[in-house]
């Protein structure tokens, strides 16, 4: 049976062991409870948080500042993540919370990024904006691209169906037949078409030459009309009329007769001058009119031939060499 001294020693040992245990407990765990922290909430809309667990790390621009303390499903499309960070962590109102992977383990952590110095500080208990990681953005774009690619493949499959292939083949066959018929038509009527085109070109050349000559004749007549001779003649006639009137009034018949003689001489000279000008311009005008008349006759002949036999535009005009003997 234990003595009283042994019981005292055992009690002292238990008290000292308990004291040491409590000291180590407060050193290791008590600091976590006494540390001041700030809590925030993150609402993710239509974003899966698979791989994120309670106790996961929370980093601010790569620096660990806290941990995840709770995960809650608010609705079918919303998930709330509660985090706590060290007191005084500078979280701005435009900071975004992005879910990133920890290596290749499939686990996730919360990365706080963004935020500008001009934005106000988000108070504890506020909601941090949810953001998308680069991997989420790429995955979303990949899903969209895959959907469009699948749609394109379905459309291509529909386009290359048996019915479409048969229609395309029939169209190519018809086009080949039309091309062969056109080639045969041009081969047998090449000479006639060449003759028709050449003849039409000759008619157009004649019309062009006649138009040039007519333009020259009109230009000559216009120059004659614009010359100062007409104005001079009109002024002389006005002067003569005034002089005759004055002389008749004064009954100076002798002087009037001399003036009339001079007027006749001037008039004769003027008529001779205009006759020379008219002779010079008349030849050009007559020549241009004859050329135009010849071109119009040729054009009228072609029109009559085409009206009587329109097929000549394709077969051409039969010459003596083309007629069978």
What SS3 string covers the chain? Answer: CCCHHHHHHHHHHHHHHHHHHHHHHHHHHHHHHHCCEEEEEEEEECCCCCCCCCCCEEEECCEEEEEEEEEEECCCCEEEEEEEEECCCCCECCEEEEEEECCCCCCEEEEEEECCCCCCECCCCCEEEECCCHHHHHHHHHHHHHHHHHHHHHHHHHHCCHHHHHHHHHHHHHHHHHHHHHHHHHHHCHHHHHHHHHHHHHHHHHHHHHHHHHHHHHHHHHHHHHCHHHHHHHHHHHHHHHHHHHHHHHCCHHHHHHHHHHHHHHHHHHHHHHHHHHHHHHHHHHHHHHHHHHHHHHHHHHHHHHHHCCCHHHHCCCCCCCCCC
What local confidence, expressed as pLDDT, does residue 324 receive? Answer: 44
Q: What six digits make up the tokens of 157?
A: 């499959």
Q: What six digits make up the tokens of 204?
A: 């157009």
What local confidence, expressed as pLDDT, does residue 81 receive? Answer: 93
What local confidence, expressed as pLDDT, does residue 310 receive? Answer: 66
pTM: 0.38
Going from the C-alpha of 47 to that of each of 16, 81, 192, the distances in angstroms are 54, 12, 79
- As to burial, measured by CB atoms within 10 angstroms (0-12 exposed, 13-18 middle, 19+ buried), residue 224 is middle
Q: Which residues pair with 92 in a beta bridge?
A: 121
HSE on the CB side for 167, CA within 13 Å? 6
Does residue 92 contact residue 24 with C-beta atoms inside 8 Å?
no
CA distance 306 to 317: 10
What local confidence, expressed as pLDDT, does residue 192 receive? Answer: 66
Going from the C-alpha of 149 to that of each of 142, 144, 155, 164, the distances in angstroms are 10, 9, 10, 21
Sign of the alpha-carbon dihedral angle for 246, 248, 249, 252: positive
What local confidence, expressed as pLDDT, does residue 188 receive? Answer: 67
- Beta strands 37-45 and 108-114 are unpaired
Residues 6+ apart with CB under 8 A from 296: none
- Segment 1-36, tens digit of pLDDT: 567 777 788 888 888 888 888 887 777 665 555 568
> Which residues in the chain come in under a pLDDT of 70?
1-2, 28-35, 133-142, 159-161, 185-186, 188-201, 203, 221, 224-231, 234, 244, 247-257, 271, 274-275, 277-281, 310-325
What local confidence, expressed as pLDDT, does residue 30 receive? Answer: 57
- Segment 54-68, tens digit of pLDDT: 889 999 888 999 999
What local confidence, expressed as pLDDT, does residue 203 receive? Answer: 65
What local confidence, expressed as pLDDT, does residue 40 receive? Answer: 93
Q: What six digits make up the tokens of 5?
A: 């001294």
């Amino acid at each position: 049976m234990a003595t009283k001294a042994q019981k005292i020693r055992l009690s002292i040992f238990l008290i000292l062991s308990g004291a040491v245990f409590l000291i180590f407990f407060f050193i290791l765990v008590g600091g976590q409870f006494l540390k001041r922290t700030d809590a925030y909430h993150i609402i993710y809309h239509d974003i899966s948080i698979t791989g994120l667990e309670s106790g996961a790390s929370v980093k601010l621009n790569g620096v660990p500042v806290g941990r995840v303390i709770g995960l809650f499903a608010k609705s079918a499309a919303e998930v709330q993540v509660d985090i706590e960070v060290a007191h005084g962590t500078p979280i701005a109102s435009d900071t975004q919370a992005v879910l990133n992977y920890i290596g290749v383990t499939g686990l996730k952590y919360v990365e706080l990024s963004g935020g500008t110095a001009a934005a106000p500080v988000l108070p504890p208990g506020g909601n941090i904006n949810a953001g998308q990681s680069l991997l989420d953005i790429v995955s979303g774009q990949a899903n969209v691209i895959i959907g469009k690619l699948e749609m394109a493949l379905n459309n291509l499959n529909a386009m290359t169906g048996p019915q479409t292939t048969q229609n395309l083949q029939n169209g190519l066959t018809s086009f080949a037949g039309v091309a062969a018929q056109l080639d045969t038509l041009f081969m047998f009527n090449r000479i006639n078409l060449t003759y028709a085109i050449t003849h039409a070109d000759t008619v157009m050349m004649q019309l062009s030459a006649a138009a040039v000559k007519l333009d020259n004749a009109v230009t000559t007549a216009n120059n004659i009309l614009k010359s100062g001779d007409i104005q001079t003649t009109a002024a002389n006639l006005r002067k003569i009329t005034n002089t005759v009137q004055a002389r008749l009034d004064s009954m100076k018949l002798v002087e009037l007769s001399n003036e009339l003689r001079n007027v006749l001489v001037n008039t004769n000279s003027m008529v001779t001058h205009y006759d020379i000008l008219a002779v010079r311009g008349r030849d050009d005008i007559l020549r241009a009119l004859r050329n135009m008349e010849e071109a119009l006759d040729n054009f009228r002949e072609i029109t009559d031939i085409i009206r009587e036999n329109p097929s000549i535009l394709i077969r051409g005009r039969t010459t003596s060499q083309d007629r069978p003997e």
